[in-house]
Amino acid sequence: MEIKDVDGAAFRQVLCAWCGKELEPRADVGVLLKLGSVADRFQMTEVVTALEEAIIRQLSVATCADVLSWCGGAWLERGEEAARKLAVERFEEVAGTGGFLRLSEETVGRLLEEDGLGVGTEEAAFEAAVRWMQAGDGGSWRGRGLLRAIRFPLMGWEYLEGRVREAVGGLDGEGIGSVVEEALRAKAAMRDGARADVRLLGPKATVGRVGRGVRWEDYLSMADGGGRRLRGHTGDVRAFAAWEGRICSGSEDGTVRIWNRASLEEERALRVEDGAPCGVRSLAVWEGRVVVGYSDGRLRVCSLATGECEQVLQGHTGAIQALAVQGTRLVSGSWDRTIRVWAMGAGAAWACERTLTGHTDWITCLATWRDKIISGSADATVRIWDAATGALDATLTGHGGQVLGLAVGGDRVFSASADGTIRSWAAGTWSLERTVRAYPEDGNEFPRCLVVSGGKLVSGSCGGAPCEVRGREPFVLSLRCVTAPI
């Protein structure tokens, strides 16, 4: 039998499935989509249902854009709904796939209009839109209307005046200039508590996306530099940790407070009254538990769900300044110049496996890389330890002051020091790659802590500008000053 405009092989597979033969369980999503279209055309309802279920089971970041772009008719309604939900929730990842560029303008626009779009910043939504717009035939621009779905006033001042104009200024110089100017005016109005004029940008331009979480940079423009402050602590806040949409903060007042990351509302305050009050110096989170390091040298393990203290770990004789998690091990660093490695478990008491000694001054920071523990100390060195054996693998020297921050990005380890520099080390060989002066030699500022996020290295500072945060493209230093939100 010859059926025109239907792939013969696809028809045979569908017919076999209709006759009771089981479908290939690991078939490519593209193949399943093609088979589903054929089955729908010939009204093989049971086969259509089976194929749609198989597509939904295989749905992932890599495949959801292909499902959304498939013009297969109404038969894929549930699959498209599931794919759209995933694309909204994990938009930044989906936007990086090749399938995203094949989506229609209507589909991309619908995603960008979602209040719950899963982007860390509005800038990420804009970059995704620009990437799609620039992927037209022959490198031409397409879908200029997508810019209407971007909420420009939620972006940073410098980004609006710089990157936005640069990215699409050539597309419509006068038009985008008007958009940027209105966005800047809207930001100023939001800062002053006034109503924002968004005639060009649209009514949702100043509405924060639920899926964005909290961007501390949004508070740069507030009159007191603080924006939305999370109030409750009565002492200095010394530690933070993040866990499944929550932020944990630890203070010298002896409490740990748990905040909802989206709403910034306090969910619970933890205080363990088992002796003289002591301050919280460090935090770590592991499988629904928060580990709290105190100034009296004790560690307390508390349930994040109930706030109950499950156990107290003792052994350190000085304040616990740093905590890190390495697999099922907890690593703690103290003023007593030692590092302790604890075996964590869901039910049993956590036992100290070993104590690492060698630093000649107090431990300031910790990080992990694969099966290694990385420690920074006031003795100006970084040491590399084997987590399983406790053996010292390497001692990294060169800093001229206390090592105050550590971060790991891929196969690089970054260290920040009171000497005003940040150093990059090759993980594994531990050779020095580069030294960057983060602050002038004759100044009184220095990098205090480090984190790698979104391909950038971000450092906090101490000294002359205690509330400064610097965001860096790998070693191309650009300055931004952000006031601490708490």
How far apart (Å, rounded) are the C-alpha atoms in residues 443 and 292? 34
Q: What is the pLDDT of residues 425-455, one digit of tens each?
A: 999 999 998 888 877 776 667 777 787 765 6
Please tell me the distance from the alpha carbon of residue 69 to that of residue 107, in angstroms, as a whole number. 8
Which DSSP state fits 20?
T
For 258-313, write each residue's pLDDT tens digit. Answer: 887 666 778 888 876 555 568 999 999 888 789 999 999 999 998 877 788 889 99
pLDDT tens digit string along 332-354?
999 999 999 999 986 678 999 99
| pLDDT on residue 216 | 41
> For the segment 146-189, what is each residue's pLDDT rounded down to a tens digit?
988 999 988 877 788 888 888 876 555 446 778 888 888 888 78
pLDDT at 404 over 70: yes
Domain boundaries, the chain: 237-480
Query: How far is it, in rounded angstroms, from Cα 110 to Cα 91?
Result: 12
In this prediction, residue 11 carries a pLDDT of: 62
| Residue 143 vs residues 94, 149, 296, 391: alpha-carbon distances, Å | 19, 11, 60, 58
As a whole number of angstroms, the distance between CA 32 and CA 187 comes to 47
Query: Sign of the CA dihedral 46, 49, 51, 54?
Result: negative
How far is the CA of 181 from the CAs of 193, 196, 207, 329, 376, in angstroms?
18, 12, 18, 52, 46
Burial 228-252 (b: 16+ CB within 10 A, else e): eebeebeeebbbebebeebbbbbbb
Q: pLDDT tens-digit profile of 309-333? A: 889 999 999 999 999 998 889 999 9
* Per-residue H/E/C for 426-486: ECCCCCEEEEEECCCCCCCCEEEEEEEECCEEEEEEECCCCCCEEEEECCEEEEECCCCCC
Residue pair 396/382 in contact by the 8 Å Cβ criterion:
yes
Q: What is the pLDDT of residues 44-91, one digit of tens each?
A: 676 666 666 777 777 788 888 888 887 555 666 777 888 888 899 888
Q: Are 419 and 401 in contact (CB under 8 A)?
A: yes
The pLDDT score that the predictor gives to residue 197 is 81
Q: Tokens at residue 225, please?
A: 């530099």
Average confidence (pLDDT) over 404-413 = 87
What is the spatial distance between Cα 419 and Cα 404, in angstroms, rounded to a whole number?
10
Looking at 2.130.10.10, 3.40.50.720, 2.60.320.10, 2.60.40.1180, the CATH number of the domain 237-480 comes to 2.130.10.10
**SS3 for 219?**
helix
Q: Is 416 strand, coil or helix?
A: strand
Q: Which of 150, 145, 194 is nearest to 172 (CA)?
A: 145
CA distances in angstroms from 378 to 22, 337, 360, 412, listed in the order given: 65, 9, 8, 21
For CA atoms 277, 280, 284, 289, the dihedral sign is positive
86: tokens are 């995933």
Question: Residue 470: its pLDDT value, please?
Answer: 43
Within 10 Å of residue 143's Cβ, how many Cβ atoms?
17
Band (pLDDT 50/70/90 cuts) for residue 459 is confident
Element (H, E) at 268: strand 266-270
CB atoms within 10 A of CB 376: 29
- Whether 362 shows a pLDDT value over 70: the answer reads yes
